[in-house]
Structure 1
Amino acid sequence: MSASSKVWFVTGASRGLGRAFTEAALAAGDRVVGVARDLSPLDDLAERHPEGLLRLGLDVTDREAVFDVASRAVEHFGRLDVVVNNAGALFTGMVEEFGEAEARAQVELNFFGALWVSQAVVPHLRAGGGGRLLQISSIGALGGFPSTGLYSASKFALEGMSEALAAEVAQFGIKVTIVQPGGYWTDLYTSSRATEPNPVYGDLRAELEKQWAEGSVDSEPRLAAEAVMKLVASDEPPLRLLLGSMVYDVAFDISRRRMDTWAAWEETSRAAEKAVPAPTAS
């Protein structure tokens, strides 16, 4: 391995985008700590890269285990340079349909899992003089969409936390980027869980299924990995990076509509604020 090679820590490394990120990093001569609940899909990569790939089993919702695995990764490779918070899942269903266990499970994985990983790796990145932390978000964080409300909620939370984290750790040379992918041919959809349908949403579900059947165009995960490699190579990475033309267009469309709405209600918004002296205690 080259002395200049990077050490990656990738969660959800066994499938989908995580697998693509892992493959791209290894192909570049970097070393990777591939983290996943099921490590068997990484057997072929381990055979081809016996020195470059360290596989560690982990459920990212287990905070204590996350910290332990991060420490083991550093013990093995000596440092961490690039952390990719990729583990996640999609739970579909109308907001009204979610039970407490289902709602908590979605947020536990997509938000708290990413939070625990962030907390665990920041001290190691700081000790190494800096590094990159990539938070894999989603088009679902651009807005709330029917049947993916809890998924969007988990990604909105991830992005809010990540913006604050980016400002907090910049002083240590740690650069955080929120990556917002569009559609890719992964098993995110086929492995998703669904709520028990409420018949009152039958017409909406039928319309959504029609839209997805007619308008869904997904891409190869390899293209997302190529973009991430460019991101990691940049000396000035952005706080946010959109991946895909569709998500790029959606982001601008949503932003414009929000700005139009704010402008239309500007008078009401400004009238709701008037500075006054602090009230005195009675």
Structure 2
Amino acid sequence: MKWNRILTYSLIALLLFMMTACSNGTDDTAKKEEQTDAVVEEVTDLILATTTSTQDSGLLDVLIPMFEEDSNTNVKTIAVGTGQALEMGTKGEADVLLVHAPASELELVESGDATNRQRVMYNDFILIGPASDPSAVKGMEVQEAFQKLFDDGAVFISRGDDSGTHKKELDVWKSLEITPGENAGYTETGQGMGNTLQVAAEKQGYVITDRATYLAQKENLDLEILVEGDEDLLNIYHVMQVNPDKHDKVNSDGAKAFVEFMISDDTQTMIEKFGQEEYGESLFFPYTE
């Protein structure tokens, strides 16, 4: 009887041990699954250096959330002039660039600081000014209009920030062999497109701008489009990765994913539709081919 009791207790103890072991095994498996899920759901950061026009127009407010949701990525957008954005690329201070100064962009690619450069979209630059148009430049070709503004000593507001828009403006002055600062009415803001438009409105001056930012802020400006449609005023945007072979701290996977996102069919459709409902026309046009 004594031995039967000992055997019974032993079997109970063994059964309890096995149950505990199974329970621990289940708990360990659950913990491993939770850890795996945590790894899968980990959010990575991506630094996007871009021009202020993509920010001021509101386009990034539509596109960035789409990319973040699809890629589980947190995008840190730094909107500056294109010159500053490209400089961030040369220093490895950004992962991906969205800019609009083709000649300067190519220099970055040739130096090996950027790679996977892809054309994304375009719109155009326009010359705007007060409705009274004191220099009577409306309808002129852009070079003719710039010459007239300089000759008249007209109030001209420049971004003066080495942005893509500023580079385009300087190209026009250079083609005319004019030093714009010799005009007493010429003022550089050193600021982004949105703020520069506000200064132009306050001073009732002329200013060159991208069409998207103008349309997005038109209601707050007492300025009209005076010169448009010249081939020289085409405004092309490219996206490119900062080269991970030269800058090893960049998020190359995230940058590559962002480039692919920007040139995807779905994103291109969103770009084309952006602004149509609110402004009656597209602010940007797809341009991947």
After TM superposition, the score normalised by the length of structure 1 is 0.29
- Name the structure, 1 or 2, with higher relative contact order (CA <8 Å, separation 6+): 2
Higher strand share: 2
Greater radius of gyration (CA): 2
After TM superposition, the score normalised by the length of structure 2 is 0.29
